Amino acid sequence: MTHVKRDDSYPPSYGKYSRKSSDCRTGRASYRPVGGYLQIRSNFQKAHDRIGRGFFFTLEKFKMNKTTDTPRNKQTETKGKLGDSMLGSEILVKALEKEGVDTIFAYPGGASMELHQALTHSKQIRTILPRHEQGGSFAAEGYARATGKVGVCMATSGPGATNLVTGIADAYMDSIPLVTVTGQVPQAMIGKGGFQETDFYGMTLPVVKHSFLVTDVTEIPTIISQAFKIANSGRPGPVVVDIPKNIQQTRAQAFFPDDVNIEGFDPESKKISDLELNEIIGLIEKSKRPLLYVGGGIISADASDALRKFVDATGIPVTTTIMGLGAFPETHELSLRWLGMHGSAYANWAVSGEFEKDKEGNSVKVTDGSDLLLALGVRFDDRVTGKVEKFCENGTIVHIDIDPSEINKNRKVTLPIISDVKYALERLAEMVSERPLQTKFDSWQNQVRDWKEKAPFGYHVTEEVMKSQHMKDHLSGSENEVILPQMVIDELYKLTEGDAILTTGVGQHQMWSCQYFLSENPRQVLTSAGLGAMGFGYPAALGAKVARPDKQVIDIDGDGSFLMNVQELATAKIEKIAAKAIILNNQHLGMVVQWEDRFYAGNRGHTYLGNPDDMKQIYPDYVEMIKGFGLPVERVMFKRDLKAALQRMLDSDEAYVLDVVVPYTEHVLPFIPAGHTVADMIWKE
């Protein structure tokens, strides 16, 4: 079996012993040690014997409980500076400072309190205490997603570390640069099932880009530099650095390299050739209906300006993924907004064609979709493609990505290219401005315009809403004042004029946030896309606000999702982080309810979040709860109060929560049921 790895990011000398996860197609499982530490031992021992390095731990080393005898690795030969005599914990803090870290979200415990002691002496790093490690990991992600810089979080061994796993998995799925530092039990205790020991290194293997277990105190600076480099080069991702307590307590003089050269790891050197670029231009010249399908890779690569130039020079319309929101301005006439399960009908039509039902109820194609799909920095996620073989079935597909493991993984394409996408777009823009295309795409652009006019995102108060329990319980006599969830985001978009950073939970509110808030720029809507992790919204907003204090940062959340990390309100209050939150409170797990309505005849399977003994009550009482955290809060029930309440929230200098009560009967449309095609898209009631 061949092992194709993300980025090819292993130094070859680490080989399979690096314990880095790989993509699922190539059988991550074969990397995974079956029996924990003992099983790894033989592999690692072999690796150690072969390469004579101290990068990989061995049981012998743990037994020795000292680490400074490890053979020096190559980095000592590079330029740098020998540090003063310091404790391992202090070396770590210095190494983080050297990487430019200004914020760390860290929750202490027995195996990491040494690190916290050292952090108290840092003048550069602000240590923020989240109220749950999961909150800390999402906050670090929010920081990273808002800036493109590496987010950093830290936890103690055992339960502290396991609480980080969801955040790490989230960063892995969405390719977010994250360095997580965890304390580990002393080396002598590893493998013995001692208090708060978990094999965190092993546990996180399938969801990290790389991981280190530090066995030599003097290697901390090199490992930290490597961790940051790996996290944020090529396709970004999470890196775990697990540091046993005895290493933190060991005094040593460590070498701080100016730069680290990781042998064999140079993802950014992958560049498309002019020959391939000419081939793409040739395909565009021949095409009648070219379409750009762009994703988070454009944002990670900082390639949106280059994309804009290329579109200006060619007139090719653009659709993005949710991770690619803002890679191209959504207000631009050539923007088709985002595509997929709940994306715009017109983006989905532009990819695969427009279908209508005939008299017998069969779907028939009425207009062709794209004949040339330029897929850049995307991964053909199933929420985008639906039934993947039908996705742009009749088009030629060009796929450019930095990560070889994405090529032909979900969708076989005509022209796959491994390249830095920014370079590819810059060169393409240059080439087409030097030698303009012979083709114009007027009729295709007109088609796109017609589609946009035919099926804009929209909402209205339906009969279902009027007849709903929500109306009876909460709006009897004031039915005209009902607030639909979509209205809230629409109004917020108008009030902020689109100049804000949004985070979201996961569910219906998430989809409406992406539909009704148009991203002009990258890094405006931060959402857990690949993992779909409820609880992401508010902690991510904290991280984003810390990183971008100049911006309004607003978490648009569901009542279910918000409750999952509600404790982070304490972080906001105590750390004075003015991240706002709007709870679109439908008293239900709305997205699951929507599926129940569509596919399970409306049978409710534990999707009601309110109090069944008193359905007129709004439960839990967020107003009382948020008051308990010492933060301002308002409940909004009537449309007439919405705008002013939103404005008060925006005007607040501190964290502020609006609990907006909305009906649960709304469905997110358009909707392409999972595994189906655009022919099955429900786009109007």
Ligand X SMILES: Cc1ncc(C[n+]2csc(CCOP(=O)(O)OP(=O)(O)O)c2C)c(N)n1
In the complex with ligand X, the residue whose CB is nearer, 171 or 292, is 171
Residues 6+ apart with CB under 8 A from 665: 462, 464, 465, 468, 470
Please indicate whether residue 133 is annotated as part of the active site: yes
**Binding-site partner at residue 534 among Mg ion, ligand X, none, CB < 5 to 8 Å by type:** ligand X
Q: Is 584 in the site for ligand X (CB under 6 A)?
A: yes
Site string for ligand X, 504-523 (x = CB under 6 A): -xxxxx--------------
Query: Which does residue 666 bind out of ligand X, Mg ion, none, counting CB within 5 to 8 angstroms by kind?
Result: none
> Which entry of Mg ion, ligand X, none binds 508, CB below 5 to 8 A by partner kind?
ligand X
Q: Which C-beta is closer to ligand X: that of 329 or that of 539?
A: 539
620 binds ligand X (CB under 6 A): no
- 3-class SS of residue 610: coil
Given 564, 591, 637, 681, the catalytic residue: 591
The helix-helix angle for 274-286 and 421-434 (nearest 10°) equals 60
Amino acid making up residue 148: G
Q: Smaller CB distance to ligand X: residue 108 or 558?
A: 558
Minimum Å gap between C-beta 236 and ligand X is 23
Size of the site for ligand X (CB under 6 A): 20
Give CA torsion, residues 31, 32, 33, 37, to 10 deg.
110
Of 251-259, 261-269, 307-315, 554-562, the window that binds ligand X (rule: CB under 6 A) is 554-562
Task: Select the residue interacting with ligand X from 40, 376, 417, 589 (CB under 6 A).
Answer: 589
With tokens 């790895």, the residue in question is 5
Q: Which of 184, 196, 508, 515 is catalytic?
A: 196
| Residue 33 found at the interface with ligand X (CB under 6 A) | no
The answer to whether residue 472 is catalytic is no
300 binds ligand X per the rule CB under 6 A: no
DSSP annotation string for 541-589: HHHHHHH-TTS-EEEEEEHHHHHHTTTHHHHHHHTT---EEEEEE-SB-
Q: Which residues pair with 154 in a beta bridge?
A: 106, 181
Classified as helix, coil or strand, 185 is: coil
The nearer residue to ligand X, 310 or 562, going by C-beta atoms, is 562
> Could you give the dihedral angle defined by the CA atoms of residues 489, 491, 496 and 499, in that order, rounded to the nearest 10 degrees?
40
Report the nearest approach of ligand X to the CB of residue 510 (Å): 7
- Would you tell me how many other CB atoms lie within 10 Å of the CB of residue 595? 16
Binding of ligand X by 341 (CB under 6 A): no
532 touches ligand X (CB under 6 A): yes
> What is the contact surface with Mg ion in residues (CB under 5 A)?
558-560, 586, 590
The residue within the footprint of ligand X, chosen from 151, 295, 386, 558 (CB under 6 A), is: 558
Residue among 673, 611, 119, 25 nearest 342 (CA)? 673
What is the closest distance, in whole angstroms, from the C-beta atom of residue 609 to ligand X in the complex? 7
- 167-171-175 Cα angle (round to 5): 175
| DSSP-derived secondary structure for 404-433 | GGGTTTSS--SEEEES-HHHHHHHHHHHHH
From the candidates 5, 98, 245, 452, which is the catalytic residue?
A: 245
What radius of gyration do the chain's Cα atoms show? 26
Burial class (CB in 10 A: 0-12, 13-18, 19+), 135: buried
The nearer residue to Mg ion, 470 or 639, going by C-beta atoms, is 470
196 in catalytic set: yes
| 8 A C-beta contact, residue 220 and residue 214 | yes
Closer Cβ to ligand X, 214 or 506, answer by number: 506
Active site residues: 133, 195-196, 245, 591
State the residues that interact with ligand X by CB under 6 A.
Answer: 505-509, 532-535, 558-561, 584, 586, 588-592
